[in-house]
Amino acid sequence: MGVIPKSLKTLTLELQRLPGIGPKSARRIAYFLFTLPEERLNFLGEAFQGLKKNVTTCDFCKMLSDTNPCELCGDPGREDTTLCIVADHMDVYAIERTAGYKGRYFVLGGLLSPVKGHGPSDLAIEGMLKRVHQLIKKQRGGSKLEIIFALSPTTEGQTTALYVKEELLREYGNQVDLSRVAVGISVGTDIDYVDTYTLQEAIKGRSSL
């Protein structure tokens, strides 16, 4: 490794720490970056610095944002009647891409996982209860706030949903309606190929035609 210039070596080692990048890819990216014009590298450097300097967390939904409140919480056109609970920021982006949901969001900041050592204190439970309270106050005519759980259909997702559900029911039992996104068969899949668990869930979560 002594023949490799120090800066290239440092960059390679840093890149290697990124998710999904092994030593070989890290080396290739480092050499590629070296071939770029200096102004592109400066632009990249500014983008890296801006990540911490310009990105903030929305007080209302805990989503990463340029502003606080974020664009979604600050949008008066969104419906205050539904709150969608997700584990991660990326889940909000995914749901927004569908353009089929017009309500509010809350980002828990992860899932409960005894294996990974993630307990309730690692999730934004307090913030979520506060947000639910704010939205309950906006409901009119005795309507309940609809809370949709959009958590992964994994053991971690189910454990988290159960925990959050109990917290919500204890605090706001008769003021909220809880639901979860349907779990089931992917569009374009033959039923024959679907695993038993997914099929069971799909039958449970059936909707009328």
Residues making contact with Zn ion (CB under 5 A): 58, 60-61, 63, 70, 73
Please state, in angstroms and rounded to a whole number, the distance separating the CA atoms of residues 113 and 126.
18
Beta carbon of residue 47, minimum distance to Zn ion (angstroms, whole number): 23
Q: Tell me the sheet residues that pair with 104.
A: 83
Which residue lies nearer to Zn ion by CB, 7 or 68?
68
| Amino acid at position 5, single letter | P
Beta carbon of residue 78, minimum distance to Zn ion (angstroms, whole number): 10
Beta carbon of residue 180, minimum distance to Zn ion (angstroms, whole number): 21
Taking Cα atoms as reference points, which of 191, 201, 193, 95 lies closest to residue 148?
A: 95
The alpha carbon dihedral of 114, 120, 121, 124 has a sign of positive
Which residue lies nearer to Zn ion by CB, 127 or 184?
127
Beta carbon of residue 143, minimum distance to Zn ion (angstroms, whole number): 22
Alpha-carbon distance values, 79 to 18, 49, 86, 102, 173 (Å): 37, 35, 17, 6, 21
Which residue lies nearer to Zn ion by CB, 63 or 84?
63
Which residue lies nearer to Zn ion by CB, 60 or 149?
60
